Amino acid sequence: MTIIQCLHTAILVSDLEKAEHFYGDILGLEKVDRPLKYPGVWYQIGNYQIHLMVHSGFNFSLSNQEKWGRNHHFALGTDNLNDIINPDSALQKVALNTTSLGLIIKYNCLSS
The Cα–Cα gap between 42 and 8 comes to 9
The Cα–Cα gap between 76 and 56 comes to 26
User: In this predicted model, what pLDDT tens digit does every residue of 25-47 receive, in sequence order?
Assistant: 888 899 999 999 999 999 999 99
Question: What is the pTM (predicted TM-score) of this model?
Answer: 0.73
What domains sit in the chain, N to C, each tagged with a CATH number? 8-56+66-106 (3.10.180.10)
Which of 35-39, 74-78, 80-84 is predicted with the least confidence, judged by mean pLDDT?
Answer: 80-84
Q: What sections of the chain are H helices per DSSP?
A: 16-20, 81-85
Neighbours of 92 (CB within 10 A): 11
